[in-house]
Amino acid sequence: MTQTQNCQLILALDLETRAAAFAMLDRIGQSLNWVKIGLQLFTAYGPDFVRAVADRGYHVFLDLKLHDIPNTVAKSVQSIAQLPVELLTLHASGGAEMLEWANQARADHAPGLNLLAVTVLTSMNAAQLHALNIKTSPEEQVLHLAGLSLGAGVQGLVCSPLELPPLRQKYGPAPIIVTPGIRPAGSAVHEQKRIMTPRAAAAAGSSYIVVGRPILQAPSPAQAAQAIQAELFGNADA
């Protein structure tokens, strides 16, 4: 399966401060369209930070990985519906009822918002799953949680790029699939366990790839972002 023409790059804006984040966006400019805001910056600076990033013309992926009782998660989705957010994460392991309540809140308050169920974190491998008394492989657990999540009505998934082929084979092109754990050739792996290059992830069916440090730590973040997008579209050697 080749879906490179549909795959988009999301910058993981995982920095310590608002000032550092905006300095990075000044350097990035319009070399990419999507920015992921994670728990650290959202906890520090809140909804106003989300609005400020969106005001710069970026699409916002809010990566909070919500996981609580169904009513609390639904109310959180209702609150986030007031923000210029287009993608929002919640944990698939919260269960079908939590996911269903969240999706109903989305439908009622922000039908343009897409919910993404996080399956197995890309920092986890089989040994870590087994330590949690999950005896299946990462791929089997991802497929299980994907079925639960899509059955509950959410619009997409977050998973390692290594699970893309079986997911696309089973569920086809409709679900949004966002893949962190992307490392351009020659980049440091850091704590990621299950990784893939941008072109390979796009070819396997990723809707969006998430890249952080290979862009944030590059001498020219804008050039790094452009190079990754060139690779996505088959204009660079992989």
Task: Find the mean pLDDT for residues 103-121.
Answer: 95
Question: What is the reported pLDDT for 145?
Answer: 93
d(C-alpha 208, C-alpha 59), whole Å: 12
pLDDT value, residue 137: 84
Query: Tens digit of pLDDT for each residue in 193-236?
Result: 556 889 999 999 999 999 999 999 999 999 999 999 998 877 54
For tokens 């922000």, what's the residue?
110
Residue 192: which pLDDT band, with cuts at 50, 70 and 90?
A: very low
Could you give the percent of the chain with pLDDT greater than 90?
74
Mean pLDDT over all residues of the chain?
90
What one-letter code names the amino acid at 114?
A: N
Q: Is the dihedral of CA 170, 174, 180, 181 positive or negative?
A: positive
Read off the pTM: 0.90
Alpha helices by DSSP H, 120-194? 126-131, 138-151, 164-171
**Positions marked catalytic:** 65
The structure tokens 């804006």 sit at 13
Report the C-alpha dihedral over residues 218, 27, 89, 128, rounded to 10 degrees. Answer: 20
Going by the DSSP 8-state scheme, the letter that residue 182 receives in this structure is B
Q: What is the pLDDT of residues 142-189, one digit of tens each?
A: 899 999 999 999 999 998 888 999 999 999 999 999 999 887 765 554
Ramachandran quadrant class, 214 (left: phi over 0; alpha: psi -120 to 50; beta: rest): alpha
What pLDDT, on a 0 to 100 scale, did the predictor assign at position 133?
76
Alpha-helical (H) ranges within 9-84 are: 18-28, 39-55, 70-80
H/E element, 106: helix 96-109
Buried b (16+ CB within 10 A) or exposed e, 56-84: eebbbbbbbbbbeebeebbebbbebbebe
Residue with tokens 């269960």: 95
Q: How confident is the model at residue 237 (pLDDT cuts 50, 70, 90)?
A: very low
C-alpha to C-alpha distance for 226 and 215, rounded to whole angstroms: 10
Residues near 219 by beta carbon (within 8 Å), at least 6 away in sequence: none
Q: How far, in Å, CA of 237 to CA of 230, rounded? A: 9
pLDDT in tens, 36-66: 999 999 999 999 999 999 999 999 999 999 9
Return the pLDDT at 120: 80
The structural domains of the chain, with segments of one domain joined by +, span: 4-232
Q: What is the mean pLDDT of residues 116-145?
A: 83
- Residue range 4-232, CATH number: 3.20.20.70
